[in-house]
Structure 1
Amino acid sequence: MDFNFSEEQLQLQDAITRFVQGDYDFEHHRKVVASADGWDRKAWQGLADLGVLAMIVPEDQGGLGYGPIETQLALQATGPALLAEPLLTSGVIATALVRDFAQEPVRSELLGELATGGRILVLAHQEAKARGDVAVVDTTAKADGDGVVLNGAKAVIYHAAAADELLVSAREGDGVSLFRVAKDTAGLTLRSYATIDGQRAAEVLLSNVKVPASARLGAAGQALPAIERALDIGLAAVTAEAVGIMEATVNATGEYLKTRQQFGQPIGRFQALQHRMADMLLHLEQARSMSYLAAMDCQNPDDDARRKTLSAAKVTIGQACRFIAQQSVQLHGGMGMTDELNVSHWFKRLLAIELSFGDTDLHLERFAKLSQRAALEAAAA
């Protein structure tokens, strides 16, 4: 299989890499996450100017018309910078959801604003009891005169406080619908907090939140499959982010072993530590391969095949995240846990990625069930 990228794809990745290395270095990251907002609007506009936010917006809507491969290259390039901006949540997941599910003229309006960074949308779908199950939606939507009333709660919604609007999923009749809800809507409460990886998330509480019927995005009761497909695109993208961070972590650890002296020589000469570095590289390359596979299959119309591939990728990536992060900290010694060293920040982000979009155990179980179902269907055929 050809894993070579086109010249245009490599130029895109190179431009993003130069941007984050020049304008979003480690010290800038620390200042951003310590700020009141927890993200940098100037950096967000810089991403828009580079075309990063327009990557998956169709060309007829003012975008670049790219797909998952370009998204993978972009997230891999931004990964080591630990961007606190809503690139994954708004620039990938929400944009894909609007692109594939919204109806005109709302679709064109939102895509144009998303591409230029003028509007930030965040999907508020996850609920506390769901534990990674996309189909669990207890938030309700009930008709009330000329509008709809929403009641419920969403849990750990990344970048909710930075969003102009939330895309709130709610059970309406026998299906699930999606509604645009502005942050200042009466009855909507955000409890924002910092997460372990330096990002910002929020609990979203909806108490008799009334929105007009026109706030419904797409067809009534038909949103769940579109939400799952958008989250699968996001899952593939976050695997690429993880690969970028793991690669930076492995490189930083290798450099440290070359310079740290003990018993009169660099500790990288000790065979036991060389074996551990080799194991880290093995996990990295396995994760890279599965990230490629996730990118190529994340838009597969065959639901079971897509889910099986993405679960396999998430298991491999999750195991690699934990192994590489833990080994890196151990090989750095006590300083590996200090706030002044980027390795400790990469460690925390990798831990958060392993737990996001369903943790390793959940995806291992899903992969096993899908494999068993496929085997039974093949035997019955």
Structure 2
Amino acid sequence: MDFELDDEQTALRDAVRRLLASTYATIDGRRASTAKAPGWDEGMWGRLAEMGVLGLPFTEEDGGMGAGPVEVALVAEQLGRVLAPEPFAEAVVLAGGLVAAAGSAAQKEQLLPGVVDGTTVAAFAHFEPGAAAGAPPRSVTATQDGDGWVLDGVKEPVLHGAQAGLLVVSARVDADGTDRTGLFVVAADAAGLDRVDYPTYDGTRAARVTFASTPATPLGAAGANASDVVALVTAHAQVALCHEAVGAMATALDLTTEYLRTRKQFGVPLKTFQALTFRAADMYVSLELARSMALWATLVLADGDPDAAVVAATRAVVQTSAAGRHIGQEAIQLHGGIGMTAEYAVGHYTTRLTAIDQLLGGRTAHLRVLADHVGEYDVVDPLAV
């Protein structure tokens, strides 16, 4: 595997970093953007679109840039470094990715240009109240109504669901007596659609979305089972969120080490105390383990094997989840009381890392998935040479 960035990838990373620094150089920029609707900087969203960032995951035939998972990862990490609230992974990689993966040629031609140019924010309505992470849809059902389809049920939380101009909805479809996962497109002004917006604890937005005989259009072939498509596109979004978490962890570590170098206790810098430097070193180890796993998973995605991609994303989530919790908690502890204040940045990074962990499904759930398939893995004899 080649872990080196080429010139174009390096230029993309640096350009995105400079652009984000214009608005999010300090935590005050993020607070200002999340304090008002839609919960991110619309000017920044437009500039990301002009740069081509929102088109990275899509092929040139679909109006995108024809880039791959590596480029997506570079952008996600830069967003995480400054806690930029723009919904790149959620709206572009996940919701837009589902349209690109499951939509018909006509649907992609109609829907993707708005995602690429930033005029349409898409949201994936998949989570259901009380359902476990990764569970197929159950409470939201899709039924045929004449020549069309209607949806009934509740989705929550739907990230940026109230601001989205396009909803991609997963629903249970009873086809020939067999439950299947169907994907549907719902317009923002559809009849019977109710969206209740609320802030989440990390400063972003989510919504409770209720469908009451809401007209919907099947994404792709009507009645087709979209489980595999959802799993693959979700894996791409999970890896992107892992890279966002890596960016956030890197900044949290930088803030902590700088604090240890400059803050004095008993007349000497905190870095003088060996126990504190050991704890900072452990944070660095966690960061690099998470970075390595996220990068490895990205390269697996780039290889194009769907089954391997889903497993790689699961493994990356396990490592990222553990690292995020460790680094976030240690960053606050090593800062002392100031780490708990809303005015200081480090607490915001820990909060975002916690939110990403929940979005990824949590470490325990992914460990359970890996454990269920442990018998299928090859056996390696460490003594064999």
Q: Distance in 2 between matches of 1:80 and 1:204?
A: 31
Q: Which amino acid aligns with 2:13?
A: Q
Q: Secondary structure at the match of 1:138?
A: coil
Question: Is residue 263 from structure 1 mapped to residue 284 from structure 2 by the alignment?
Answer: no
Given the alignment, which residue of 213, 216, 219 partners 1:217? 219
Call closer, same or farther: CA 1:112–1:138 in 2, change over 3 Å. Answer: same
1:99 is matched with 100
The structural deviation recorded for 1:37 is: 2.9
AA aligned to 2:107 is V
Match of 2:329 among 326, 329, 337: 326
Task: Please report how far the alpha carbon of residue 90 of structure 1 lies from its aligned counterpart in structure 2 after TM superposition.
Answer: 1.2
SS at match of 1:348: helix
| 2:256 counterpart residue number | 253
Give, in whole Å, the separation in 2 of the partners of 1:89 and 1:307: 17
State the percentage of identical aligned residues.
38
1:182-211 Cα deviation digits (max 9, x unpaired)? 222221111211111111011111112123
User: Bigger shift: 262-271 or 138-147?
Assistant: 138-147
What residue in structure 1 maps to residue 3 of structure 2? 3
1:49 is aligned to 50
Matches within 5 A, 1:55-66: 55-66=56-67
Residue type matched to 2:193 in 1? L
Determine if the alignment matches structure 1 residue 177 to structure 2 residue 178. no
In the other structure, the counterpart of 2:130 is 129
Distance 1:360 1:294 in 2: 16
Give TM-score, length-normalised by structure 2.
Answer: 0.93
The 5 Å alignment of 1:44-193 reads: 44-172=45-173, 173=175, 174=178, 175-193=180-198
Whichever residue aligns with residue 52 of structure 1, its letter is V
State the shift of 1:307 in Å: 3.0
**1:27-86 C-alpha deviation (Å, 9 max, x unpaired):** 221111111432222111011011110111212333210111110011001112222222
> What secondary structure does 1:161 align onto?
coil
Aligned-residue offset at 1:309: 2.0
Query: How many positions carry a matched residue from both structures?
Result: 373
Identify the residue that residue 24 of structure 1 maps to in structure 2.
24
Q: Residues 300, 358 of structure 1: CA spacing in aligned structure 2 closer, same or farther, 3 A cutoff?
A: farther
Contact 1:139 1:150 in 2 (8 A): yes
Alpha carbon RMSD of aligned pairs, Å? Answer: 1.6
Which residue of 282, 299, 313 corresponds with 2:316? Answer: 313
| In 2: Cα distance, 1:368 partner to 1:334 partner | 39
Aligned-residue offset at 1:224:
2.0
CA contact (8 A) 1:120 1:165 kept: yes
Aligned to 1:5, the other structure's residue is in SS state: coil
**What displacement does 1:295 show?**
1.0
CA contact (8 A) 1:308 1:370 kept: no
Contact 2:81 2:251 in 1 (8 A): yes
Give unpaired runs (5+ residues) of structure 1: 377-381
| One-letter code aligned to 2:24 | Y
Supply the AA of the counterpart residue of 1:197: D
In the alignment, does 2:212 pair up with 1:207?
yes
One-letter identity of the residue aligned with 1:3? F
4+ aligned runs moved over 6 Å, structure 1: none
| Contact 1:40 1:85 (8 Å CA) reproduced | yes
Describe the shift of the 1:375–1:322 C-alpha distance in structure 2 as closer, same or farther (beyond 3 A): same
TM-score (norm 1): 0.94
Give the conservation status (yes or no) of the 8 Å contact 1:249–1:325: yes
Query: For residues 86 and 368 of structure 1, what CA distance do their matches in structure 2 show?
Result: 32
The structure-2 alpha-carbon separation of the partners of 1:324 and 1:85, relative to structure 1 and needing over 3 Å to count, comes to same
SS state at 2:201 partner: coil
| Whole-Å separation in 1 of the counterparts to 2:305 and 2:357 | 25
Contact 1:308 1:371 in 2 (8 A): no
List per-residue Cα deviations over 1:109-134 (Å, max 9, x = no partner): 22222111121111111212331124
8 Å CA contact 2:77–2:247 kept in 1: the answer is yes
Deviations 1:332-372 (A, max 9, x none): 11110111111111010001111222100001111111222
The CA deviation at 1:303 is: 5.0
Partner deviation per Cα, 1:262-295 (whole Å, 9 max, x = no partner): 1111001110001001100000000000000121
CA apart distance, 1:2 = 2.6
Find the aligned partners of 2:303 and 2:170 in 1 and give their Cα distance.
23
Change in 2 beyond 3 A, CA 1:69/1:194: same
Partners of 2:165 and 2:103 in 1: how far apart?
17
Give the 3 Å change call, closer, same or farther, for CA 184–176 of structure 1 in structure 2: same
Q: Provide the residue aligned with 1:379 in structure 2.
A: none
Instruction: Indicate the residue corresponding to 1:295 in structure 2.
Output: 298
Structure 2: 5+ residue runs without aligned partners? 380-385
Alignment partner, residue 239 of structure 1: 242
Between 1:59-68 and 1:339-348, the stretch displaced more is: 59-68
Equivalent position SS for 2:360: coil
Q: 1:50 to 1:303 in 2, by over 3 A?
A: closer
Partners of 1:304 and 1:66 lie apart in 2 by 21
Native 8 Å contact 1:137 1:169 kept in 2: no
Shift of 1:301: 5.8
Task: Say if 1:295 and 1:323 are closer, same or farther in 2 by CA, change over 3 A.
Answer: same
Distance, in Å, in 2 between the alignment partners of 1:126 and 1:372 is 30
